[in-house]
Amino acid sequence: MMEGEVTARPTAIEIRDLRVDYGDFVAVDDVSLKVPAGEVFGLVGPNGAGKTSTFRVLATLMEPTYGEVFLDGVDILEDREQARRIVGYMPDLAPVPTDLKVWEFLDFHAAAYGIGRRKARRERVAECLEEVRMSDQRNAWCHKLSRGQTQRVVLAKTLLHRPRVMILDEPASGLDPLARRDLRTALRNLAKTGATVFVSSHILSELAEMCTSLCVMNRGKLLAAGTAEEVRRLLGNAGRKVTLHFVSRVEHAMAWMEGKPGIGAMEREGERVTVDLEGDDFLQSELMAGLVNEGFRMLSFEERRSSFEEILVEVAESNRK
């Protein structure tokens, strides 16, 4: 899927035919994508997929080989300064100074963003620290923060100028489960204000929980975009496993299923039979209906599809082929 367009809402991020080359190496290969305003939109892919190169272009930190990028309608290649007022960028493992306290670090950036009056800066710093649950660390020295705390402080810095588009590269890196939950809440609250959050991770299940929509990249190409379930359907193996828990007559049920369309290997464990099924939802419903019509009694009929981790492993392993 070379282009993703999630909803009919106004477009906050539009990428057209983006390509990034490093010498003979193609990092981003003709990617086109539209992200509506108010989305928490995820970008997932294995290492080397092109995520960071894409984000660096969006953040106006590098020029693409060719292509066009618009943030809130602003052409970032034609008007970088205006684009930088719109965007907030958080790189993976961003450094913080060792000789400043947390509030001093944020106050410095607030001044750089043009929040001129000292009282206004102090209030905005306090708001951003509260947003990332770091108010109790405002007087801590930056060099004494844990990795997860550092990530949260850098996120607070990214929020200072109220960007309409946020580009977050692996923001959950180093966060514990509680902090990741707080991050999800903070990003969703930002989206409710109309801001657009474009966030990357190599953990697909993490993005599936965090984002309203997402896309998958590999080898510089955009493979799929949409909701988490749409991406699962587009990239997951067409095959699925169904486990049937019978009340009785297990052997007869297995004999009846054998040779039916889409039925693959069957494995029995007690009263349960796991079946490899090649087909769509209609074929699965036909199997269920057929068993019931034949009088086979079942306690359950459960489907197992590829997990997000399995999908990403399959995508990553294609790099080796």
Helix (H) or strand (E) holding 33: strand 25-36
Same domain flag for 264 and 210: no
pLDDT, tens digit, 9 for 90 and up, residues 76-105 = 999 999 999 999 999 887 888 889 999 999
What average pLDDT does range 168-174 have in this prediction?
A: 83
Band (2; pLDDT cuts 50, 70, 90)? very low
Is residue 304 pLDDT above 80, yes or no? no
pLDDT at position 8, please? Answer: 60
| Single residue among 235, 270, 287 that ends a domain in this structure | 235
Domain assignment present for residue 3? The answer is no
Q: How many domains does the chain have?
A: 2
| Residue 263, SS3 per DSSP | strand
pLDDT at position 32, please? Answer: 96
pLDDT at position 6, please? Answer: 46
Range of the domain at 48: 11-235
Instruction: Return the half-sphere exposure (C-beta side, CA atoms, 13 A cut-off) of residue 81.
Output: 0
Same domain flag for 75 and 208: yes
Is residue 7 pLDDT above 50, yes or no? no
Domain assignment present for residue 312? The answer is no
Same domain flag for 113 and 219: yes
pLDDT, tens digit, 9 for 90 and up, residues 19-52 = 999 999 999 999 999 999 999 999 988 888 899 9
Domain assignment present for residue 286? The answer is yes
Domain assignment present for residue 126? The answer is yes
Same domain flag for 118 and 252: no
Is residue 293 pLDDT above 70, yes or no? yes
pLDDT at position 95, please? Answer: 80
pLDDT at position 86, please? Answer: 93
Instruction: Return the half-sphere exposure (C-beta side, CA atoms, 13 A cut-off) of residue 75.
Output: 5
CATH number for the domain that contains residue 252: 3.30.70.100
Q: Which of 19-23, 85-89, 194-198, 208-212 has the lowest mean pLDDT?
A: 208-212
Is residue 238 pLDDT above 70, yes or no? no
The percent of residues in the chain predicted with pLDDT above 90, rounded, is 55
pLDDT at position 79, please? Answer: 95
Domain assignment present for residue 35? The answer is yes
Whole-number average pLDDT of the chain: 87
What average pLDDT does range 236-252 have in this prediction?
A: 83
Residue 153 in contact with residue 106, Cβ under 8 Å? yes
Instruction: Return the half-sphere exposure (C-beta side, CA atoms, 13 A cut-off) of residue 107.
Output: 13
Q: Concatenate the DSSP letters of all residues of 61-99 into one string.
A: SS--SEEEEEETTEETTT-HHHHHHHEEEE-TT----SS
The residue type of 318 is S
Same domain flag for 53 and 181: yes
Same domain flag for 58 and 149: yes
**β-bridge mates for residue 246, sequence order:** 298
Instruction: List phi, psi (to 5°) of 161.
Output: -95, 15
Rounded to 5 degrees, what angle do the CA atoms 121, 122, 123 make? 90
Domain assignment present for residue 123? The answer is yes
Domain assignment present for residue 321? The answer is no
Give 118's contacts (C-beta < 8 A, 6+ positions apart).
none
Same domain flag for 206 and 154: yes
Distance CA 18, CA 179 (A): 34
Same domain flag for 231 and 109: yes
pLDDT at position 201, please? Answer: 82
Same domain flag for 248 and 141: no
Residue 31 in contact with residue 50, Cβ under 8 Å? yes
- Decide: residue 133, CB within 10 A, 0-12 exposed, 13-18 middle, 19+ buried: middle
pLDDT at position 190, please? Answer: 85
